[in-house]
Structure 1
Amino acid sequence: MNKVRCLIVDDEELAVDIIAEYISRIDKLEIAGTCSNAIEALQFINEHPIDLLFLDIQMPGLTGLELTKSMSTRPEIIFTTAYTQYALEGFELEALDYLVKPISFERFIKAVNRYFKLHQQQELPSQADSTDFRHSFIFIKSDKMMIKVMLHEINYIESVRNYVSIFLIDGREVRTLNTISNIEEKLPASHFMRIHRSFIVSLDKIDSYIGGSVKLARQTIPIGRHYKEAFRQLMADRSID
Structure 2
Amino acid sequence: MHEAQAKNQLRKIRALIVEDEAPARSRIIRFLKAHNDVEIVGEAATGYEAIALIERTSPNLLVLDIKLPDISGLEVLKSLGDRPHVIFSTAYDSYAIEAFEVEAVDFLLKPYEQRRVDTALERVRAKIQSEQPPLNLEDLLRRIGGGGSSAHRIALHDREHIVLASAGEIFYFIAEGDDVYARLRSRRLAVRRSLRELEQLMEPRRFFRANRSTLVNLDLVREIHPWFGGRFVVRFSQLEPSEQIEVSRRQARLLSEMLS
TM-score by structure 2 length? 0.46
Higher helix share: 2
TM-score by structure 1 length? 0.50
